[in-house]
Amino acid sequence: MPLLTPRPALRSTAVSLAVGTFMLSGLACSAWAAGPQKTTRAISTEGGVRVVDVAMTMRGFSLPTSLPAGFTTFRATTADPTGHALQGFQLNKGVTLAQVESEFKRVVSSNPATDASAIRALERDVTAVGGPTVDPATAVSATLPLTAGTYYFFDFSTLFAPGQPVRFLKVSVTGRFANNEPRHHGEIIQTERNGKPRFIVPAHLNLNDTFLVRNDTKTEFHEAVFQQVKPGTTDTDVQAAFDATAHGKKPPSNPFTEQAMRGAGALSPGRSQLLHFEPSAGLYALLCFIPDDQSGLPHAFEGMHQVVRLAKLPAGATHTGVGGAVSGPEPFESAVGGVLVMASAMGAVTLVRRRRLVRGNA
């Protein structure tokens, strides 16, 4: 399925976002949290697709200010153990950047009612086009289809840094869309099952592959991030940990072996991006921590998680099917006041930090 789907209604309100790079002559803009830094941008072409290398640090990152329309890969790296999340979006008609900045800040309040209200506002006001979420373990590449328009990128992680300003980089994408869509071999579908957010993904993913990530829902933002879990972990184990945390209790066990995550950032309904990364082989939970626009709970708490195995598979090997979160029993669904008091043994900060948002595919 092509990444860029005709959506006149979305186009008219501004869709697609991100950055492409073909003209090497543009100036670079940089965002930082604690003063200017000397940064360089690396732009290359691989397999006919433009690649922008983005080194993300606590001091910021840089991007070109002007790019041609088409597919562009953002390849992010970082040495910071807490990781970073490069997120792109486009303002919908009549919306200001100041308005959206306020909504982004409110969506990480840790109050479910406030989070739900803020995410609904963002779903209305911006089109999210994704981007790489990265940690030191591996470079992460997100390939985005960008049509002509004005886009903004920022490090979502800065929303969780007290007293640090959020810097938005403006990128102008111009020209006719060049349909140079890269190949992919696996798919991660964000969908709904009985009105609840779920993933559809094979139980095994090949570390050598590039994956299509597509938001097939009608109204909500979704991300796709991977966190390693202990051998033998099931989706039932993951849900039990989330249920206990939601009720302010200590989980029966901690299924996670790390706090770091990596993967693909938030997409609006109808949008797609390509994900490529090379983490260590093993068992991982595929997760979405964006808050639900009704309950305010992270989607992962509502069952949007799936345990998958990442490994180097033989050439031609295919593993289809869906995991436990899709076919298993309905998990804890109700909105609990104070539910995001992450004072449990499974790493509260990680769960709150990864609730990311933004919206749309053109």
CA atoms of 178 and 173, how far apart (whole Å): 12
| Residue 119: pLDDT over 80 | yes
Report yes or no: 302 and 217 within 8 Å, Cβ to Cβ.
Answer: no
Mean pLDDT of 111-134: 98
Please tell me the pTM assigned to this model: 0.80
* Domain topology for 8-174: Immunoglobulin-like (2.60.40)
The answer to whether domain 8-174 and domain 186-353 are alike in fold is: yes
Residue 195, amino acid = G
| Residue 30: pLDDT over 70 | no
Residue 45, amino acid = T
Residue whose tokens read 């050598």: 208
* Residue 172: exposure state from Cβ atoms within 10 A (0-12, 13-18, ≥19): middle
| Residue 23: pLDDT over 50 | no
CA atoms of 348 and 330, how far apart (whole Å): 23
Report yes or no: 145 and 213 within 8 Å, Cβ to Cβ.
Answer: no
Instruction: Grade residue 161 by pLDDT with cuts at 50, 70 and 90.
Output: confident
Instruction: Grade residue 266 by pLDDT with cuts at 50, 70 and 90.
Output: very high
pLDDT score, position 230? 98
| Residue 35: pLDDT over 80 | no
pLDDT score, position 315? 58
| Residue 207: pLDDT over 70 | yes
| Residue 6: pLDDT over 60 | no
Mean pLDDT of 36-41: 43
Report yes or no: 135 and 83 within 8 Å, Cβ to Cβ.
Answer: yes
Instruction: Grade residue 167 by pLDDT with cuts at 50, 70 and 90.
Output: very high
Report yes or no: 101 and 125 within 8 Å, Cβ to Cβ.
Answer: no
Mean pLDDT of 132-139: 97
349: DSSP letter: H
Instruction: Grade residue 110 by pLDDT with cuts at 50, 70 and 90.
Output: confident
CA atoms of 172 and 170, how far apart (whole Å): 7
Query: Could you tell me the residue ranges of all domains in the chain?
Result: 8-174, 186-353
Residue whose tokens read 């930082």: 32
pLDDT score, position 47? 75
Which three-class secondary structure state does DSSP give residue 76? strand
CA atoms of 119 and 171, how far apart (whole Å): 24
Report yes or no: 41 and 120 within 8 Å, Cβ to Cβ.
Answer: no
Q: How many CA atoms lie within 13 A of 170 on its CB side?
A: 6
| Residue 360: pLDDT over 70 | no
- Which has the closest alpha carbon to 287: 194, 186, 208, 213? 213
Note the CATH number of domain 186-353.
2.60.40.420
- Which has the closest alpha carbon to 149: 42, 12, 43, 270? 12
- Which has the closest alpha carbon to 57: 167, 145, 151, 144? 167
Which three-class secondary structure state does DSSP give residue 141? strand
Mean pLDDT of 130-142: 97
Report yes or no: 189 and 195 within 8 Å, Cβ to Cβ.
Answer: no
| Residue 333: pLDDT over 60 | no
pLDDT score, position 349? 33
Mean pLDDT of 210-230: 98
Task: Please tell me which residue, 319 or 48, carries the higher pLDDT value.
Answer: 48
Report yes or no: 113 and 149 within 8 Å, Cβ to Cβ.
Answer: no
